[in-house]
């Protein structure tokens, strides 16, 4: 067992998977010689060759469209979209094609495809290198959307995504790449897609979140612990399909729920999680459900004070949780 960053966990999983299954190919913009903008795929072309780790032109619709074609024809493509912000030209292929091929072929065939993309802000990326795009895809039946919170989860969820018979979007928070470290077993293991993970047990309130915000919530929980507020943290791990049972269990247990995400508030996952709790666990609640999310502005501004005002932080989570605990 080695201690790895989030980024290294993803890279080593890709390496292990490429060794395990020669149907797997990686491609995208600058993933080969350069090893990716963030160096996630560094060294993979050297080890597996240009036919399995392929540099593509700037052509997102074609990267994903051809990956779909390769997937239905026997390969296991793991294309990278360089920044999640660049995925939009490919939405037609993802939503109209990848998500629907199994349904429209009445189950005859599907699209075993994993689309990796770095997302999220707080790294001074400005408007087109900071966005959270997960809610667009979480709306679409036929897709699965995975957002790991730790290096351990990054490995197990990526292996599961690659093994999955259906299209999976696998989003990696840029600020997590080098800031999150943890123990990662050497051997291959699978973490089930669609199952949430209770990252911390508590009794006063539940924070339901995913991705980088899990570690931010953990920091807030440690602060609150010293103030006598006991926080439970449910990491969704997968935002489509949602683990309804785990969401309802924690809501019923603590009776107070704070849903947190960096993606903007309206139409975000927080709304869906809140609706599930309101429908199925309303009378267990001791306080209205609270959401803490990015503001409803079109993109993340560049200037540090504005970026900070946009970002969800451990302090903002702690502040929201205090209010909820007192309600």
Residues catalogued as catalytic: 129
Q: Is 126 in the site for other proteins (CB under 8 A)?
A: yes
Q: Is 303 in the site for other proteins (CB under 8 A)?
A: yes
Other CB atoms within 10 Å distance of the CB of residue 16: 17
Structure tokens at 226: 């010293």
Shortest distance (Å) from residue 82 CB to other proteins: 8
Exactly one of 1, 107, 298, 326 binds other proteins (CB under 8 A); that residue is 298
Q: What are the residues facing 116 on neighbouring strands?
A: 80, 170
SS3 label, residue 273? helix
Of 50-58, 187-195, 231-239, 312-320, the window that binds other proteins (rule: CB under 8 A) is 50-58
Q: Give the footprint of other proteins on residues 188-247 (CB under 8 A).
A: none
Q: Is 282 in the site for other proteins (CB under 8 A)?
A: no
Exactly one of 79, 112, 125, 167 binds other proteins (CB under 8 A); that residue is 125
When the beta carbons of 30 and 204 are compared against other proteins, the nearer one is 30
Picking from 220, 217, 178, the residue whose alpha carbon sits closest to that of residue 199 is 217
SS3 label, residue 239? strand
Q: Helix, strand, coil shares of the chain as percentages rounded to 5?
A: 40, 20, 40
- CA 10/CA 78 separation, integer angstroms: 12
Q: Is 127 in the site for other proteins (CB under 8 A)?
A: yes
| Kind of pairing between the strands at 168-173 and 114-119 | parallel
Of 177-185, 197-205, 284-292, 299-307, the window that binds other proteins (rule: CB under 8 A) is 299-307
Shortest distance (Å) from residue 55 CB to other proteins: 6
Residue at token pair 């960096």: 262
Exactly one of 15, 16, 23, 62 binds other proteins (CB under 8 A); that residue is 62
Q: Mask: binding to other proteins, 130-159, rule CB under 8 A, as x and -? A: ------------------------------
Q: Is 46 in the site for other proteins (CB under 8 A)?
A: no
Of 67-75, 102-110, 249-257, 303-311, the window that binds other proteins (rule: CB under 8 A) is 303-311
Q: b or e along 109-128 (b: 16 or more beta carbons within 10 Å of the residue's beta carbon)? A: ebbbbbbbbbbbbbbebbee
Burial of residue 49 (number of CB atoms within 10 Å: 0-12, 13-18, 19+):
exposed
- CA 102/CA 14 separation, integer angstroms: 26
The site for other proteins (CB under 8 A) is made up of 29-30, 32-35, 37-38, 55-62, 85-86, 89, 123-129, 295-298, 301-306, 308-310
């Amino acid at each position: 067992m080695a201690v790895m960053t989030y980024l290294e966990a993803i890279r080593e999983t890709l390496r292990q998977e490429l060794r395990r299954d020669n149907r797997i190919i990686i491609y995208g913009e600058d993933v080969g010689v350069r090893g990716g903008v963030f160096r996630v795929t560094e060294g993979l072309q050297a080890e597996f060759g240009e036919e399995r780790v392929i540099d593509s032109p700037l052509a997102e619709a074609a990267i994903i469209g051809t990956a779909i074609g390769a997937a239905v024809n026997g390969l296991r493509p793991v294309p990278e979209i360089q920044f999640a912000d660049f995925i939009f030209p490919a939405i037609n292929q993802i939503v109209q094609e990848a998500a629907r091929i199994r349904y429209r072929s009445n189950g005859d065939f599907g699209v075993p495809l994993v689309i990796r993309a770095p997302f999220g802000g707080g790294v001074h990326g400005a408007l087109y290198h900071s966005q959270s795009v997960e809610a667009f895809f979480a709306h679409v039946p036929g897709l699965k959307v995975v957002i790991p919170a730790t290096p351990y989860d990054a490995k197990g969820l990526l292996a599961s995504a690659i093994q999955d018979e259906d299209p999976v979007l696998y989003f990696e928070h840029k600020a997590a790449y080098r800031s999150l470290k943890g123990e990662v077993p050497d051997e291959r293991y699978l973490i089930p897609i669609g199952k949430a993970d209770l990252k911390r047990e508590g009794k006063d309130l539940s924070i339901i979140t995913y991705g980088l915000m899990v570690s931010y919530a953990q920091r807030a929980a440690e602060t609150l612990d010293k103030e006598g507020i006991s926080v439970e943290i449910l990491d969704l791990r997968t935002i489509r399909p949602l683990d309804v049972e785990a969401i309802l269990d924690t809501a019923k247990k603590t009776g107070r729920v704070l849903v947190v995400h960096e993606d903007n508030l309206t139409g975000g996952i927080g709304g869906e999680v809140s609706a599930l709790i309101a429908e199925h666990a309303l009378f267990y609640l001791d306080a209205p459900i609270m959401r803490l999310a990015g503001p409803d502005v079109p993109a993340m501004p560049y200037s540090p004070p504005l970026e900070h005002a946009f970002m969800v932080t451990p302090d903002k989570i702690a502040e929201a949780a205090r209010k909820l605990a007192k309600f």
